[in-house]
Chain A
Amino acid sequence: MSPTKDRFISSILFAIASFSITALFVIGLFIFIEGFPIILRIGIGKFILSTDWSPLEGRFGILSMIVGSLCVAVGTLIVAVPLGVGCAIYLSEFASKRTVAIIKPAIELLFAIPSVVYGFVGVLFIVPFVRTHLGGQGHGFCILTASVVLGIMVLPVIVGMSIDALQAVPKVYRDGSLALGATKWQTTTMVTLRAARSGILAGVILGMANAIGETMAVIMVIGNAVVMPNSPLDSVRTLTSNIALEMGYATGEHRQALFATGVVLFVIIMILNAMTRYVTRKRIA
């Protein structure tokens, strides 16, 4: 085989490797082409700052859904971060090697559970529980329920990334602290956690992005009412569920408005992605 042929292969591989960024660009482009005209027609301010979503009357405002998505994302983090990071600290700093060898693959395995299954379990257990014990306007289908369901769903992501971040901290850091007479717990809070901070944060942001982007599990447990929420027990609609619920029958401007919802979702996720990159880049520098 000649070096010329090798160079030829190299350029083919470069083309293949460029596929992802091209695909991303094309995806963004098509969502924008379909969704942007209606944003321009209504006015971007009115589209994202109005709470009036009446597709049949031609009024499209998605503020309540943006708020809904953000509420669910924050709720998810409140459930998942303490549990997930706590679990990761235990597994990485305190648990025996054998325990980790059993539990870590188990948690990673659970990453593959389809989100619909989480939604289903939410409908079976958490919705009735919230309905009978806490009540509220959503009859169990509410932000709280969705937060718990998504919180459980993103646990494997947060645990996995936090463990990786903690284990990437060089052993000498811990040894230095322990040699100074600090306890293991003091070492963890004062040295290891600080060193692993950015990696854990990246995991948390990724979990948040997963929560905002999740669709089917949310639809099943959140009630999907287009209202501004006043309490965690209110039913809301998220950006994702808005698209999935109405896409089946929407036509014309209504369909465009759903793509515009997709544009907003796309932008939010890209901002979160950029944040993850920013956070992890600082660690390397």
Chain B
Amino acid sequence: MKRPHPKTQELIAKTILSLFAAIVVMTLLAIVGYVVVKGVRVINADFLFGSPKSMGREGGILPFIISTLYITVTGLLISIPLGLGSAIYLTEYTSEGWPTKVIRFGIDCLAGVPSIVLGLFGFTFFVRLLNFSWSILSGGLTVSLMILPFIIRSSEEAIRAVPSSYRDVAFATGGTRWQCVTRVVLPCALPGIVTGIILAIGKCVGETASVIFTAGTSLRIPMSMFDSGRTLAVHFYLLVRETGASDMAYGSAATLLISILVVNFFAYWLMRKFISRVS
């Protein structure tokens, strides 16, 4: 058989590839669209701000929203200083050598640890050894380990995007390295850093496997750091496992998705502003 003309080949390839791209985008959008459309009907004030009845199969989801918020905030409070500090060290305070290689290796591997393994670790270390029991604190600490590599990487990228001439000016006027970082580099990189943090929020909110073993599945509103709390993602998982596709499941999934999408849209909006400012 004669091979078709290269121009024809290109046309065929282009058609197939555009089909692939269409399939990818359509599938992903269909998933989001379906869940949001089916779930939005369930969402109302009673659903969002009511307390759950009959093990969460009816009623509202307020305790789960509050637990999710607490765990996310706890996770961020721990991982932001650590992540930002690491990123500043890696970009501003050191040159590439074997110590940075080891540090980077650690960050990459930590990013790869499956969340279920983090859950096992959180369970032995925070829940049992440190005796925090199933609590917001244990869950938040575990989640912070999950998002730390993510925050380091995004902060690093944002800091690297600051032109080196800015630093030169800071040094030329007699500033120390720390003054250069805090007064010149960080303010410039701030929107980029915040974008990374916002994207990390999405990951915290959607996390299930590690949180279920460290924060527990209590249906009550947590009153302190040491109370157990069920996050929205965990609640959704348990609902689907127990009852399948119920109205409550659709409602919880839609709440989860909409909040994550809103947060991420905001992040992208911020990112666009940042890019236009730097370049």
Contact = CB atoms under 8 A, between A and B. Distances in A.
Contacts of A12: 85
B148 A14 contact: no
B120 A107 contact: no
Interface in A1-30: 1-3, 5-6, 9-10, 12-14, 16-27, 30
Contact of B116 (A21, A91, A110, A213): A213
B167 interface: no
A13 B253 contact: no
A101 to B, nearest CB: 10
B233 A114 contact: yes
Contacts, number: 261
B77 interface: no
A86 interface: yes
A276 B183 CA distance: 37
Nearest to B10: A185
Contacts of B148: 19-20, 23
Contacts of B94: 14
Given A26-B125, A109-B268, A216-B237, A114 B176 contact: no
B117 A27 contact: yes
A31 B9 contact: no
Interface in A100-128: 103, 105-107, 109-110, 112-121, 123-124
Tell me the dominant secondary structure on chain A's binding face.
Answer: helix
Interface residues of B, number: 86
B197 to A, nearest CB: 13
Interface string A64-106: 0000000000000000001110110111001100000001011
A9 B256 CA distance: 40
Contact of B206 (A2, A3, A105, A115): A115
Interface residues of A, number: 87
A152 B25 CA distance: 10
B90 interface: yes
Interface in B147-192: 148-149, 152, 176-179
B120 A243 contact: yes
B31 A213 contact: no
Contacts of B249: 120
Contact of A34 (B16, B88, B124): B124
B236 A120 contact: yes
Interface string A135-153: 0000000000000000010
B265 interface: yes
Nearest to B122: A27
A124 B245 contact: yes
Contact of B110 (A20, A86, A109): A20
Contacts of B203: 112
A123 B245 contact: yes
5 contacts: A95-B18, A110-B32, A186-B9, A244-B116, A262-B120
10 closest Cβ pairs, A-B complex: A21-B106, A114-B206, A213-B114, A16-B85, A86-B20, A185-B10, A13-B89, A90-B17, A112-B202, A17-B89
Interface of A: 1-3, 5-6, 9-10, 12-14, 16-27, 30-31, 34, 82-84, 86-87, 89-91, 94-95, 103, 105-107, 109-110, 112-121, 123-124, 152, 155-156, 159, 182-186, 188, 206, 209, 212-216, 219-220, 240, 243-244, 247, 258-259, 262, 265-266, 269-270, 272-273, 276-277
Given A209-B112, A269-B114, 14 more contacts: A1-B178, A13-B93, A19-B86, A27-B118, A31-B124, A83-B24, A87-B24, A90-B21, A114-B205, A123-B245, A213-B116, A215-B209, A216-B237, A259-B120
